[in-house]
Amino acid sequence: MATDKPTPPEGFETFESESDGDEPTVELDPGEVIEGVVLDLVEGEYDDGGTWYRLKIKDQSRGVVRYFAKGQAKRAASEGRIEVGEPIWVAMDTEQDSFEDGGETVEYYPTKAAFPGGA
């Protein structure tokens, strides 16, 4: 049904944006967590041919954020495990790990991902 000037129903408030629509991009520090519902998943390629995944998550404490997937979260995205509309938990470990790369030791904090149901 069309009207000359649509108005929201009683009890609804008109949306007023508090920002320009750009959600902050979150970089996790050791011990930090993102937990919430995945709103969007974008895939792209770096110039060198590697694949990246950017998640848009409605985090329980930060609100809507963007997160470039790393570690287990990136592997989960590449394997199709992350689904829009489903919950996700991502955390950076507090203990460093390391690997050898071209004779050099590279240290990093592993990033973990988990989903409801233990899958």
Amino acid found at 18:
E
**Apex 58 CA angle, 81 and 43, nearest 5:** 45
Contact assessment for residue 96 and residue 107, using Cβ atoms and an 8 Å cutoff: yes
Task: Summarize pLDDT for 1-49 with one digit per residue, the tens.
Answer: 566 778 778 888 776 655 555 677 899 999 999 999 999 999 999 888 7
Q: pTM score > 0.85 for this model?
A: no
